Amino acid sequence: MAVKKRQKTLSQGRPPASRPKERMTSERSRTIIRTHHRLQKEHAAALKRGDKNAADDLVHAIEENGGIKMYQAASKQGQAKDRGGDSSKVLVEWLQQAQVVNSTTRGRIDTGEVPLKCLEVGALSTKNEISKYPSIISMTRIDLNSQGPGIEKQDFMDRPLPKAEDDRFDIISLSLVLNYVPDASGRGEMLKRITKFLRKHAGMSSISFEALPLLFLVLPLPCVDNSRYLDEELLLKIMGNLGFVMKYSKNTSKLCYYLFSWTGPVTRLTTEKTKIRDGPAMNNFCIVVE
């Protein structure tokens, strides 16, 4: 006996309105990120020794790996809730603890003040946790490659230096950006440059403002706990030489987070590349301040 075919409904014939976006596996996103960092470092080294052919080949290899767009897409995967989430959640938690932000009213505790200004260097989203307080934290977001409106395409190292206090910021976020800089002295330059964009709150009496201005620094944990050339003690010494005092810190299995208050001054003390420990599986992450 022939089996009667059931007639398809209209909705079955229609293409789905939206397909769920394919997600990269965490292994693939890690590989893209690591390869991008490695090639960037090799490119910087080729430029430094004046090897134009090698530098051109490396630019090509970076593009083959998907370029900055694929790198950013892979980094965004790391911000997904099930992969540790947006790092600015930690910044907001600390601002709440420091009573700069009120968690229940999403407002600053002491009213009647102008909003705080925050510069996010290396911004991938306008919807992260720190962006949820627009009336109290006014955000300026920059990135080498803007993902859309609300993020200016700009290299922080080329951002014009402030001419007035208004061009400076109360909070700067540098989350997973310092490790993007391919050479050790470039990292030192970036940290020095940060201090020029922080504004001091001389004369402010409120307790909430005592710690301002602030730098939120996030690094992959191995940069600090598994490097031959950097450990936490040395990082805090370098930051201290630049006028930073650590207020909060926290480690997860993958990242280390710091909130520094900047009191200044920036001293003339330099930090050279020095091996402080060694081991077969260690990395060579380093910060040199010239």
Ligand X SMILES: C[S@@+](CC[C@H](N)C(=O)[O-])C[C@H]1O[C@@H](n2cnc3c(N)ncnc32)[C@H](O)[C@@H]1O
- CA dist 48 and 132 (Å) reads 42
The residues in 170-199 that bind ligand X, with binding defined as CB under 6 A, are 175-177, 180
Task: Tell me if 213 contacts ligand X by CB under 6 A.
Answer: no
Q: How do 214-220 and 244-251 pair as beta strands?
A: unpaired
**Residue 143 in marked binding region:** yes
Nearest to ligand X of 176, 223 (CB atom) = 176
Residue type, 20: P
> How many residues at the interface with ligand X, by CB under 6 A?
20
Q: Minimum CB separation from ligand X for residue 222, in Å? A: 14
Q: At 250, phi and psi to the nearest 5?
A: -160, 140
Q: Which two tokens stand for residue 279?
A: 């081991």
Identify the residue among 51, 67, 113, 157 touching ligand X (CB under 6 A). Answer: 157
Do 126 and 179 touch, CB atoms closer than 8 A?
A: no
The contact mask relative to ligand X for 252-281 (x = CB under 6 A, - = no) is ------------------------------
Identify the residue among 32, 98, 101, 121 touching ligand X (CB under 6 A). Answer: 121
Task: Tell me if 139 contacts ligand X by CB under 6 A.
Answer: no
Q: Minimum CB separation from ligand X for residue 13, in Å? A: 42
Angle (CA) 218 221 223, round 5°: 90
- CA dist 6 and 81 (Å) reads 42
Strand partners, 289: 271
Residue type, 258: Y
Binding-site residues, please? 122, 143
**Residues at the interface with ligand X (CB under 6 A):** 68, 72, 75, 79, 87, 121-122, 124, 142-145, 155-157, 175-177, 180, 218
